[in-house]
Amino acid sequence: MSWLSRLLGFRYFKTQSLIILALTIAAASFLFSFTALGLTGFYRGFTAYLGEGGDIIAVYNPKSETPYTGLVPAFLAERLAGVKGVLAVSPEVMAPCILNGEAVFLRGIMPEGFARLNVVKIVEGEFLNRSDINSAVVGENIAKRIGLKVGGNIFLLGVLADRYVELRVKGIFRTGSMLDDEILAPLHVGQWLRGASYNQVTLIRLKIDGSTMALSEIYRVVIAKASYETASQEAQPSQRQRAPQEQPQIPWTVMRFRPEDVGVEEASKYMVKYMEKYGATREALLTLSAAIFLFSSLTIIIASETIAVQHRGEIGVLRALGASKRLLKLDMLIKLSPWILSPSAAGMLTALVALAVIQENGYLQALSHTIPIQLDPFIVSLNFILTFMLASIGVLKSSVE
């Protein structure tokens, strides 16, 4: 029988020492997981905010500081709707507002176009239709948080413009995304609260058939509409040119604009672009989480070294019997593995539960939107790797005489 086999059958760690090590690792794992899951949830939620996949395209103003403040000509929506390969068009206006003392976002939409791009489930009441003028549907999260009911009235104060509006709650919806923290209203309501012209929208979202339409084709159409000749020939949109889709309450007028004032991008990349603008990349957020973990890593290393110090007598006996230092350290790592990995998993699960409780109580928010939380395989792997690596450093650094 080899020395390693004999050592594995020899128990020399005290339970009290192992419990202290386990609690230390669980605390460090909790801190890392809480930070990493929260930050990556923030990143994932906002990058998927307008839609995932290459078939959802955003037409926006690249010069705006945030995804909520830019403006583009609204008439581009009906022009793009008539392009072959464009399956749906949704012009939208984002208007930050105050409702019952809380900051909320109202999104002005054209209901039919919006519904083609988002899977909207009506929890209570009805969804908007093209004849609605002063109605709104509210997301499930905001309805719970503020206590909104179907049939009730809401009074909204604009933030970007000194305006207000009173709307009737027609329904409560659920999308399973950050849209559940928003209020959806007719397009003209969003334009009014935003302080924008009825010929402008914040962005235009498109759903395209990727097999017949490319991003470059959308941009080519937009550039074509930017020319002075095109604008002068199309002073007013004709019925013949309008696509057989939903029409706005207030007819749009063709506006001149510069090509550099309009950008075309995949919706997810559009949000990533704004996130990166302020340094909020996925890599940066994970690095921040790992840095926080490493700051607490000293306790793991010290706890692992302490294990060896507290069992110096037992280790000395094994050394006297002929066990090598390398063999003893390997044996310690094998014996400590369950006490390293199990607390690491427990710390992560505790962090997940804590985040879920905070989220349920409406405290886990960014820009008035609830941050989605879910396990990320990469974070799970990184948590176990970092924990085991740091504990191993503590064991390998320990003096075994």
Domain termination site, one of 261, 289, 322 = 261
pLDDT of 144-159, one tens digit each? 989 999 999 999 999 9
Q: How many other CB atoms sit within 10 Å of the CB of residue 263?
A: 20
Same domain for 174 and 118: yes
| End-to-end Cα distance, the chain | 24
Higher pLDDT, 400 or 332: 332
What is the DSSP track for 133-167? Answer: SSEEEEEHHHHHHHT--TT-EEEEEESSSS-EEEE
Does position 261 have pLDDT exceeding 50, yes or no?
A: yes
Share of the chain above pLDDT 90, in %: 26
Query: Where in the sequence is the domain holding 296, given as residue range(s)?
Result: 3-47+281-397
Same domain, residue pair 41 and 71:
no
Q: Is residue 36 included in any domain, yes or no?
A: yes
* Judgement on whether residues 245 and 380 belong to the same structural domain of the protein: no
Do residues 148 and 100 make contact, with C-beta atoms less than 8 angstroms apart? no
Residues 219, 295 within the same domain: no
Which residue has 């003893």 as its token pair? 328
Q: Same structural domain for residues 180 and 239?
A: yes
The reply to whether 276 falls in a domain is no
What are the residues facing 366 on neighbouring strands? 369
**pLDDT of res. 93:** 95
* More confident call, 254 vs 145: 145
Q: Lowest-pLDDT range, 28-37, 49-58, 100-109?
A: 49-58
SS3 call for 224: helix
User: Using 50, 70 and 90 to split pLDDT, how confident is the model at 174?
Assistant: very high
pLDDT above 70 as % of the chain: 76
Whether residue 108 is predicted with pLDDT greater than 70 in this model: the reply is yes
Q: Are residues 339 and 367 in the same domain?
A: yes
Q: Is residue 221 part of a domain?
A: yes
| CA 30 to centroid of chain Cα atoms | 21
pLDDT of residue 287: 77
Strand duo 369-370 + 365-366: pairing? antiparallel
Q: Is 52 domain-assigned?
A: no
- What does the block give as tokens for 318? 């094994």
Residue 91's nearest CA partner among 123, 54, 116, 124 is: 116
Tell me the C-alpha to C-alpha distance, in Å, between residue 298 and each of 24, 166, 293, 396: 10, 57, 10, 14
Q: Is residue 74 assigned to a domain?
A: yes
Residue 134 has pLDDT above 80, yes or no: yes
376 assigned to some structural domain: yes
My answer on whether 321 and 388 are in the same domain is yes
Boundary (domain end) residue, out of 229, 261, 293: 261
The pLDDT score that the predictor gives to residue 350 is 94
Residue 234 token pair: 């199309």
253 and 347 housed in the same domain? no
Q: Is residue 270 part of a domain?
A: no
**Could you give phi then psi for residue 105, rounded to 5 degrees?**
-115, 130
- Whether 23 is in a domain gets the answer yes
Count Cβ atoms below 10 Å from residue 269 Cβ, excluding itself: 14
Q: Regarding beta strands 135-139 and 182-186, do their DSSP bridges make them parallel or antiparallel, or are they unpaired?
A: antiparallel
End residue of a domain, out of 209, 227, 261: 261
Lowest mean pLDDT segment, chosen from 83-92, 99-108, 204-213: 204-213
> Are 385 and 344 members of one domain?
yes
Helix (H, G, I), strand (E, B) or coil at 81: helix
Pairing of strands 135-139, 164-174: parallel
Among 87, 71, 32, 106, residue whose Cα is nearest residue 243: 87
Same domain, 113 and 170: yes
Residue 26's CB is within 10 A of a number of other CB atoms, namely 21
Find the angle CA(241)-CA(242)-CA(247) to the nearest 5 degrees: 160
- Per the structure, the count of domains in the chain is 2
The pLDDT-based confidence of 62 (bands split at 50, 70, 90) is confident
| Tokens coding 171 | 């329904």
Mean pLDDT of 170-178: 91
Same domain, 285 and 254: no
Whether 59 and 204 have beta carbons less than 8 Å apart is answered as yes
293 and 224, same structural domain?
Answer: no
pLDDT of 310 strictly over 60: no
DSSP-assigned letter for residue 257: -
Residue 314 has pLDDT above 60, yes or no: no
Q: E strands within 218-297? A: 263-266
Question: Rounded CA gap, 25 and 304, in Å?
Answer: 10
